[in-house]
């Protein structure tokens, strides 16, 4: 304020200026909202996936059963089975540890089946058989499971339900039961029910639903909408709507091959972005950078009238 008093002053009404700006901005935004509206692509559900791609759903379940899902080997914060991201000795994941424990076979397969078996008695025998074999005869069960997964991967559909049910007992019955549950919509509801606080009226934690869909199911759809990392990435919403384009600076770090292809990509990109923000805050004291405004005289345009009047 003191510094302003050195200059010639003129009448001003800040409140009126703000109100004019506010009305102008409201009109602009309402026009944009009326003309372009907003993205309408509804969420992807486990139910719609099970209905549109039952074979895909069964493969996802079999990867959960066989311990081949992405979450199985993810590591912290879900389990201890994966490599942590690190930069030298810096690894925040290691400090955090397992804070959101998930065992895919339990969360995505056994828990929903146990709940279903409590109302569908015909499921109890195959489920008990599966749990017994899992515990005492793991080798034998593994052979049946692997063989059924190979059959699913082959894409063949030549045998009768009765034949498959006998040949791949009990896994065939159980996987098809989860598929039927998913088609009805029950499966998704059962996934998150054991999360803390979710076994009540309010269920806002979608962690397990999203983790079930992660990998092939959601990736294929993102590819279709041109939204995966090697396409438009975060810059694009569904349809022709813009995504949060201001985060393009952050996601561009992933486009640098040395970062994007690194097993520590997320930690490096996030840390680099953090450093960039700190540097941005320090621009006023960064040599050379803080001189740019004086060498690219855009300020002469900004204060053109002032300089002319001064002459």
Partner 1 sequence: MNLSKKIKQFVRKDLDLDVMLPEKLPVYVSSFVYMFGVLTMASLFVLIISGIVMVLEGPLWYQYSSLGLFFRSVHFWGAQVFFFFMIVHMISVFFMAGWREGRFLTWILGVMLFSISMFEAFVGYLLGGGFFAQWNQVQAKDAMNSIGVTGFINILNNSSLYGLHVVILPLVIIALLGLHLYIVRRKGVVPPIDIENKKNGK
Contact 215, 60 (CB under 8 A): yes
Cα-based distances in Å from 17 to 21, 32, 302: 6, 23, 19
Nearer to partner 1, 153 or 282 (CB): 282
Q: Closest distance between partner 1 and the C-beta of residue 167, in Å?
A: 35
- Three-state SS string over 189-204 comes to HHHCCCCCCCCCCCCC
Q: Which is nearer to partner 1, 119 or 281 (CB)?
A: 281
Place of tokens 């996936």: 49
Q: How far is the CB of 110 from partner 1 (least distance, A)?
A: 21
12 vs 162 by CB, closer to partner 1: 12
- CB 244 → partner 1: shortest distance, Å? 5
Could you tell me the smallest distance in angstroms from the CB atom of residue 158 to partner 1? 35
Q: What residues contact 244, with CB distance under 8 A and at least 6 apart?
A: 234, 235
Q: Residue 12 or 157: which CB sits closer to partner 1?
A: 12
Question: C-beta of 293: minimal distance to partner 1 in Å?
Answer: 4
User: How distant, in Å, are the alpha carbons of 35, 154, 295 from that of 301?
Assistant: 34, 68, 13
Nearer CB in complex with partner 1: 1/158 = 1
Report, in Å, the least distance between residue 171 CB and partner 1. Answer: 27
Cβ atoms 58, 175 nearer than 8 A: yes
Nearer CB in complex with partner 1: 118/203:
203
Helix (H, G, I), strand (E, B) or coil at 258: helix
Number of Cβ atoms within 10 Å of the Cβ of 218: 15
N- to C-terminal Cα separation, the chain: 25
| Rounded to 5°, angle at Cα 93 from 254 and 105 | 95
């Amino acid at each position: 304020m003191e510094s302003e008093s050195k200059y010639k002053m003129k009448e001003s009404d800040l409140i009126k200026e703000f109100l004019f700006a506010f009305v102008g901005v409201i009109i602009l935004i309402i026009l944009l909202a009326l003309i372009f509206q907003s993205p309408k692509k509804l969420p992807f559900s486990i139910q719609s996936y099970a209905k549109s791609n039952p074979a895909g759903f069964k493969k996802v379940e079999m990867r959960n059963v066989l311990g081949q899902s992405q979450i199985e080997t993810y590591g912290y914060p879900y389990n201890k089975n994966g490599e942590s991201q690190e930069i030298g000795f810096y690894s925040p994941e290691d400090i955090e540890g397992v804070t959101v424990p998930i065992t895919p076979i339990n969360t995505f397969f056994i828990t929903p089946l146990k709940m279903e078996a409590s109302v569908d008695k015909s499921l109890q025998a195959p489920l008990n058989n599966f749990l017994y074999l899992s515990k005492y005869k793991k080798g034998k069960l593994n052979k049946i499971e692997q063989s059924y997964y190979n059959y699913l991967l082959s894409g063949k559909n030549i045998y009768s339900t009765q034949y498959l049910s006998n040949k791949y007992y009990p896994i065939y019955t159980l996987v098809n039961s989860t598929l039927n549950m998913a088609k009805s919509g029950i499966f998704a509801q059962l996934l998150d029910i054991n999360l803390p606080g979710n076994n009540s009226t309010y269920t806002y934690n979608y962690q397990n639903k999203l983790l079930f869909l992660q990998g092939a199911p959601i990736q294929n759809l993102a590819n279709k909408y041109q939204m995966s990392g090697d396409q438009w990435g975060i810059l694009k919403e569904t349809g022709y709507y813009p995504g949060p384009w201001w985060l393009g600076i952050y996601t561009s770090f992933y486009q640098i091959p040395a970062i994007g292809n690194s097993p520590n990509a997320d930690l490096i990109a996030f840390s680099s972005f953090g450093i960039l923000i700190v540097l941005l805050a320090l621009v006023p004291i960064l040599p050379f950078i803080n001189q740019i405004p004086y060498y690219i005289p855009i300020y002469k345009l900004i204060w053109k009238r002032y300089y002319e009047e001064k002459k």
